[in-house]
Structure 1
């Protein structure tokens, strides 16, 4: 799976969790500042990412993710 394919999958997950239009989600959008994701949203995103990609996401590492590009990097590193 390419980085773009991972991003597209994460975009759908993120849009559902944050109740935003997927078109508003770019790779560089700040999840916390621009999309107003709180710590519960980020934990839910980590859990959904684990489920979708069958991997383990370390919560301390996940807390450092600011953008969807950061999450793509985490997925690629854990694969």
Structure 2
């Protein structure tokens, strides 16, 4: 795990635990949001909003179809943070 992933993980883990009402030790990178942590659509929406605020990225308009685990969420946040602040919209 590189420094960026480590930083994101340290903040994402307690956030996921709080939003999904699970113990922090249950939040591991391979934990599936729905199947393992019991997230419902409201939890996912709350996690998205809180992640946007905490990490300063916008998850709106991103392809989240491959995001099913906590590790996937961390990867998405890291990739969004690595993008330049003003990328032109794809046409």
Determine if the TM-score, normalized by the shorter chain, exceeds 0.5. Answer: yes
Query: What's the Cα RMSD here?
Result: 1.6
Gap runs ≥5 in structure 2: 82-91
Q: Which runs of 4+ in 1 moved over 3 A?
A: none
More helix as a share of residues: 1
Report if aligned partners of 2:4, 2:78 keep a CA contact under 8 Å in 1. Answer: no
Written as runs of structure 1 = structure 2, the 5 A alignment for 1:37-48 is 37-48=39-50
What is the TM-score when the length of structure 2 is the normalising length? Answer: 0.78
What is the TM-score when the length of structure 1 is the normalising length? Answer: 0.89
Task: Give the aligned length.
Answer: 79
Gap runs ≥5 in structure 1: none
Q: Which residue of 1 aligns with 2:21?
A: 19
